[in-house]
Structure 1
Amino acid sequence: MAIHFDVVRDGKRFSARPDGRTAFPIAAKVTFRNRRTGVERFGLSNDGSFFGSDEAKRQKYLAADYAEIHPFWADFIEPTAICEGQSFISLNTYDRARFTFGFGQFAAHVPDGDFIRWFRDMLQRPEVVDYFPNLEVRGGRIVKVEDNKVVPLETAQSTEPLQLYLNPTLDDVEDAEVVAAAKLIHWTVNYPEARLLQVQHMVNTARRLMKEADRRLGLDGLGADLCCVVMDVRHQGRAGFSDLQEALNARRPFEALLDVGAVSQPERVRNLKQALQTRRAALRRKKWSRSTGDFV
């Protein structure tokens, strides 16, 4: 039976009460101002004070927890996870993506992107009846079922209907937005299988980005430490292939790669450098193999 979530507002802080039980924190209301247009957007974020909560710390992605299931790949994605907040319940709803979730910050605005692929699989889990009973996957696409009416929420060209379902506007924080976040957080916290699925999709994303980068940059035989930076740049989208190629051709390619996007994303670059300080030695023991599509 579907769980009912009541929204609890306390100033800029939002919590949710499932079926009348103890409320749990969701996120805080934040403001994002577009520097070019001056337009303000409003949404939820738990990257600040809420991210420091005990619950967020308990829900952190740690490579060691998944090393047996995803040998090496669990380590390969950890630096990016750290840069993205490292929490399985990380949430942002204020930017152009309208809704991002998880330790990989899967973004709902990309057709057939990481969020869409992950959410399709979540909707096919048995617990879906407790969280999103009116959503289904039909013909490989997410739809909303209302009585006998089937409403498509995403196509190969657009995810706008799904974005609006999860986050109706960027003008304020609506109850629907809080409830959607509450459902995903509650689901993720209470079902280890949901967390495992998130890990699987982050590994899938990393594999896909590696193969794409190999086709464009020729990474065969390149150390996994360098590949890790390439993957992180492409995952965040802070630079294109031409910038990466220039860095790979530099006299010190690792250092050059780490500086890619430093002007526009200085905090992200600093976090990645810090994460790799203690992890680079282990990563560089493996090299990318084009023939196997894996690290050997």
Structure 2
Amino acid sequence: MAIHFDVVRDGKHFSARPDNSAAFPIGLKVTYRNKKTGVERFGLSNDGNYFGSNEAKKQLYCAKDYESVYPFWCDFIEPTAICEGQSFISLNTYDRARFTFGFGQFAAHVPDGDFIRWFRDMLQRPEVVDYFPNLEVRGGRIVKVEDTKVIPMEDAASTEPLQLYLNPTLDDVEDAEVIAAAKLIHWTGAHPEARLLQAQHMINTARRLVTESDKRLGLDGIGADICCVVMDVRHQGRAGFDDLQAALRAKKPFEALLEVGGHGEPERVKNLKAALDTRRDGLKKKKWSRSMGDFV
């Protein structure tokens, strides 16, 4: 039976109350201003002190928790997870993606992207009836079912209907936006299998990015520490293949790669360096194998 969520507003702080039980925090209303156009956008974030430093930190992705299920790959994605907030319930709804979620910050605006692939699998879990009973996956695509009407929510060209379902506008924080966030936060916290699925999809994303990068950059035989930085750059999208290729040709490719995109994302680069400082030796033990499509 579907869980009913009531929205609780306290100034800029938003919480949700499931089925009249205790309310739990969702996030803080934040403002994002486009520097070029001056246009303001509004949405939710749980990265700040009100929520991010407390509730979100109770649900952190840690590689050691998944060693028996995803050996090595659980370690490979951990530096990027740390840079993305590391929490299974990280939430941002104020930027052009309209809705990002999870320790990999899966973004809803990319057709067939990480969020869409992950959410399709979530919608095929048995708990879906508690959270999104009107959403289904048919023919490999997310649809909304209203009586006898089936409404496509995403296709190979656009995810706009799903974006609007999760976050109706960027002009304010609407109840629908809070409830969508509440459902995903509650679902993720209540079911370990949902967290396992999120880890699986982040690993799938990392494997895909390394495989694609190998075709363009030639990573066969390259250490996993270097591949980890390449993957992180690609995942965030802070630089293109030309910049990555130039760094790989440097005398010290690892150090050069860590600086790629640093002028635009200095904090991200700083966090990645710190995360890899204690993890690089472990990653260096394996190299990418093109023939195996894996680290060996």
Give the C-alpha shift of residue 58 in structure 1. 1.8
> What is the aligned partner in structure 2 of residue 102 from structure 1?
102
> What is the aligned partner in structure 1 of residue 22 from structure 2?
22
> What is the aligned partner in structure 2 of residue 167 from structure 1?
167
Unmatched 5+ residue regions in structure 2?
none
Code of the residue aligned with 1:110 in structure 2: it is V
CA–CA distance in structure 1, aligned partners of residues 70 and 90 of structure 2: 22
2:196 is the counterpart of 1:196: yes
CA–CA distance in structure 2, aligned partners of residues 47 and 246 of structure 1: 34
Unmatched 5+ residue regions in structure 1?
none
Give the C-alpha shift of residue 56 in structure 1. 1.6
CA–CA distance in structure 2, aligned partners of residues 48 and 221 of structure 1: 40
Give the C-alpha shift of residue 140 in structure 1. 0.3
Code of the residue aligned with 1:52 in structure 2: it is S
> What is the aligned partner in structure 2 of residue 289 from structure 1?
289
> What is the aligned partner in structure 2 of residue 218 from structure 1?
218
> What is the aligned partner in structure 1 of residue 128 from structure 2?
128
Q: 3-state DSSP class of the match of 1:16?
A: strand
CA–CA distance in structure 1, aligned partners of residues 107 and 174 of structure 2: 19
> What is the aligned partner in structure 2 of residue 51 from structure 1?
52
CA–CA distance in structure 2, aligned partners of residues 275 and 43 of structure 1: 29
Code of the residue aligned with 1:265 in structure 2: it is E
CA–CA distance in structure 1, aligned partners of residues 96 and 237 of structure 2: 14
CA–CA distance in structure 2, aligned partners of residues 167 and 144 of structure 1: 15
CA–CA distance in structure 1, aligned partners of residues 72 and 124 of structure 2: 28
Code of the residue aligned with 2:147 in structure 1: it is D
Code of the residue aligned with 2:89 in structure 1: it is I
Which 4+ residue blocks in structure 1 deviate beyond 4 angstroms? none
Give the C-alpha shift of residue 262 in structure 1. 0.4
Q: How does 1:80-159 map to 2 (within 5 A)?
A: 80-159=80-159
Give the C-alpha shift of residue 114 in structure 1. 0.2
> What is the aligned partner in structure 2 of residue 241 from structure 1?
241
Give the C-alpha shift of residue 194 in structure 1. 0.1
Q: 3-state DSSP class of the match of 2:86?
A: coil
CA–CA distance in structure 2, aligned partners of residues 162 and 266 of structure 1: 32
Query: What is the TM-score with the length of structure 2 in the denominator?
Result: 0.99
CA–CA distance in structure 2, aligned partners of residues 252 and 57 of structure 1: 35
Q: 3-state DSSP class of the match of 2:251?
A: coil
CA–CA distance in structure 2, aligned partners of residues 293 and 207 of structure 1: 8
CA–CA distance in structure 1, aligned partners of residues 267 and 33 of structure 2: 18
> What is the aligned partner in structure 2 of residue 265 from structure 1?
265
Q: 3-state DSSP class of the match of 2:203?
A: helix
Give the C-alpha shift of residue 127 in structure 1. 0.2
What is the percentage of aligned positions where both structures have the same residue? Answer: 81
CA–CA distance in structure 2, aligned partners of residues 70 and 241 of structure 1: 28
Code of the residue aligned with 1:33 in structure 2: it is R
Q: 3-state DSSP class of the match of 1:6?
A: strand
Q: CA RMSD in A?
A: 0.4
Q: Deviations 1:109-132 (Å, cap 9, x if unpaired)?
A: 000000000000000000000000
CA–CA distance in structure 1, aligned partners of residues 57 and 179 of structure 2: 22
How many residues are matched? 295
